[in-house]
Structure 1
Amino acid sequence: MQIKSSIKDIAKRANVSVSTVSRVLNNSKYVSEDLKRRVLSVVEETGFKPNMVARGLVNKKTSLIGVLIPRISNNFFSKLIEGIEEVLQTYGYNILLSTSYNEIEKELEYLNIFEDRQLDGIIFSVTEFTDQHKNFFGETVVPTVFLGQKVETLKKYPYVTIDNIKAAYEATRYLIKQKHKRIAIMAGPEKDCATGDNRLQGYLEALKEAGLPLYTSWQTRRYHTIDDGYYAASQIMSQSEKPTAIFACSDQQALGAINYLREHGYRVPEDISVMGFDDVDLATVFRPKLTTVKQNPVDMGATAARLLIDQIHGNSLTALENLVPYRLVVRESTKSL
């Protein structure tokens, strides 16, 4: 059985002081290249791993950031993580990633774990912000950044998102300009303010402005999966009057809708136009290529990480609201009537 080495063992074998080993491992003070090589050589030989918990107690720093997202299988969230890690790693931080699958109890459990383990910061991708969330973040002192939604009920921490109302309004206006007058929407679930309420609001504002009918039977509220898009399309297309365009508030729902339409004899976009939201990788692989609202999750993640670093370093924040740009990308899934 291999006996674990301690920092004293490393110092003895390298013929240096314990403080020198500590300086090399923590990169805290200058150590000559010769001594550094000797210490690192012994570390490599012994497979020594510093006790991160103990180092955290001494430095009052864990070098860990808790990141909480709804799911990792979604391409949007994987790119979000990419942007977060890209920035945090340059500052010497690693992430502790947790997924809640939109379960409030799981989110609160993970948030309490982040706090108990004295992580240096939290990046929380918000779906539903309940009173329980408000109580937690109202009491915690852990630096935090919210992602994906405005959190106006708690004016303590910054948030990073896009203007979801305006983006959905502009997407719907594009379809109206393409001569579509019967436009359905596949919004996010009721509990998701950004992809649900906000994008639905932008859609309704555009229709009202154009004097177009607001059919509630053409408005669905489901999660952002291909299966949800498929069933939402079946609900919409079961009505006696059919839309000429569907605006899906996520690309996954849009792809599910196209699958349903094809299986039931509709051509996209010849018979019905479909627009998505997010511009995930599949948007350009799927046929027809998807017209969509392009977000930049890498930029969103990087922005959130920089805001968190500013808090950790004690820098003052210029604003709580941080809006990331978006743009409409027109491809093959929509056409003018």
Structure 2
Amino acid sequence: MITISDIAKKAGVAKSTVSRYLNGGCVSQETRKKIDKVVKETGYVPNPFARSLKAKRTYMIGVIIPRLNSPSTNKVLTGMDTTCREKGYQWIITNSNQDQNREIENLYTLAKQKVDGIILLPKKISSKHEKAFEEISTPILVLGQRSKNIPSIIYSDYKAGKTIGEYALKLGHRSFLYVSVSEEDIAVGKERKKGFLDAVKKFPETKIKIITTDFQMDAAYKTALKTLSHLKASFIACATDTIALAFLKAAHQLNLPIPEFISLTGFGGYDTLSFVSPSITTIAYPYYEVGKLAVQQLDRIIQGFKVPNLVEMPHQLIIKESTKSIL
């Protein structure tokens, strides 16, 4: 079993230096690189219990997720796990099931359990959230939505919506169906839609129909069957890849070929989109990198460093087989 003494010997530094490194103390950049290299080569993982006794920290992070069956959340969690292991944190995951009251309850519960910090993936930020943020002394970072007073990491949802809209116009489409979710989810239900609408409304002849469905695939599938039977649009933009998959399945069932009959897009960049036929054009977000960054930022907050109050992550248009030009 690798010990701190082993790390110190291999790095050519004192044991106390390795201890400062592990506990976030002052270590020169050159020395930090030496220790980083040895830690990676040996696969050394600090003992959270021993560290907590000395540093009066639990080395536990609490994470509140919106639902258990989200592909994007799973990728974020994978990134978090990587960085938690690198920094010696254990973590507790709680599920709110998109229930605001459960989110608030989980915030207070995790704080009582003396976690070093909390990462919250909320459906939206309400006044109840802001009140909880004020009352809880535990460092908090918000992911996916924007908070006034708490450091937040968001996706470029408005810009992403605009990217899809501009791409559709470039293909010659002027008649659109936008399939949204509730605007209670500001990022997915509001920002993505607004970006898309602002883009396609450039042309006065543009026709747009907006409908709302659910994040769940079965609900989206029922919406798709009902909508596609009398569809007049040539381009469908779905607020998530899950909804896009539901519309793809419904189109197959109704013998409406994609993209010959209609073009179809989503948001998310889920891996499954490459394994369906036709593969679906989408917006990809760096979910794994977001998870890593979230833990890195929270770790800095825990150590008393300042971090940006808002970080916006980029997006990328991934063109697949479900869209075509009608020019």
TM > 0.5? yes
Aligned length: 284
How far apart are residue 141 of structure 1 and its match? 1.7
Quick one: distance in 1 between partners of 2:74 and 2:103?
Answer: 18
Alignment match, 1:220: 211
Alignment match, 2:254: 264
Alignment match, 1:330: 319
How far apart are residue 92 of structure 1 and its match? 0.8
How far apart are residue 214 of structure 1 and its match? 4.8
1:61-96: CA deviations, max 9, x gaps? 111100011122221111100111111221110110
Alignment match, 1:315: 305
* 1:72 corresponds to 2:68: yes
SS at match of 1:334: coil
Following superposition of structure 1 onto structure 2, how do residues 33-44 of structure 1 map, counting pairs within 5 Å? none
Q: Tell me the percent identity.
A: 27
How far apart are residue 58 of structure 1 and its match? 6.7
Quick one: distance in 2 between partners of 1:56 and 1:271?
Answer: 61
In the superposition, the TM-score normalised over structure 1's length comes to 0.79
Quick one: distance in 1 between partners of 2:319 and 2:234?
Answer: 17
Quick one: distance in 2 between partners of 1:223 and 1:148?
Answer: 18
* 1:248 corresponds to 2:219: no
Partner of residue 113 from structure 1, selected from 109, 113, 136: 109
SS at match of 1:292: strand
Quick one: distance in 1 between partners of 2:309 and 2:48?
Answer: 36
SS at match of 1:81: helix
How far apart are residue 59 of structure 1 and its match? 4.0
* 1:202 corresponds to 2:195: yes
Partner of residue 177 from structure 2, selected from 184, 204, 218: 184
Q: Would you identify which runs of 4 or more consecutive aligned residues in structure 1 move more than 6 Å?
A: none
| Matched letter for residue 92 of structure 2 | L
How far apart are residue 225 of structure 1 and its match? 2.6
Partner of residue 87 from structure 1, selected from 83, 86, 91: 83
* 1:303 corresponds to 2:290: no
Partner of residue 229 from structure 1, selected from 203, 212, 220: 220
1:140-175: CA deviations, max 9, x gaps? 221111111222xx22x2111222111101111101
Quick one: distance in 2 between partners of 1:170 and 1:302?
Answer: 26
Quick one: distance in 2 between partners of 1:104 and 1:185?
Answer: 26
How far apart are residue 290 of structure 1 and its match? 1.0
Greater C-alpha radius of gyration: 1
Quick one: distance in 2 between partners of 1:65 and 1:222?
Answer: 34
Quick one: distance in 1 between partners of 2:48 and 2:321?
Answer: 55
Tell me, yes or no, if the aligned pair for 1:226 and 1:254 is still in contact at 8 Å.
Answer: no
How far apart are residue 99 of structure 1 and its match? 1.0
How far apart are residue 176 of structure 1 and its match? 1.2
**RMSD, aligned CA:** 2.2
Alignment match, 2:268: 278
In the superposition, the TM-score normalised over structure 2's length comes to 0.81
How far apart are residue 139 of structure 1 and its match? 2.1
* Bigger shift: residues 248-257 or 221-230: 221-230
Q: Gaps (5+ residues) in structure 1? A: 1-23, 30-49
C-alpha distance 183-139 of structure 1, shift in aligned 2 (>3 A): same
Quick one: distance in 2 between partners of 1:232 and 1:205?
Answer: 25
C-alpha distance 280-301 of structure 1, shift in aligned 2 (>3 A): same
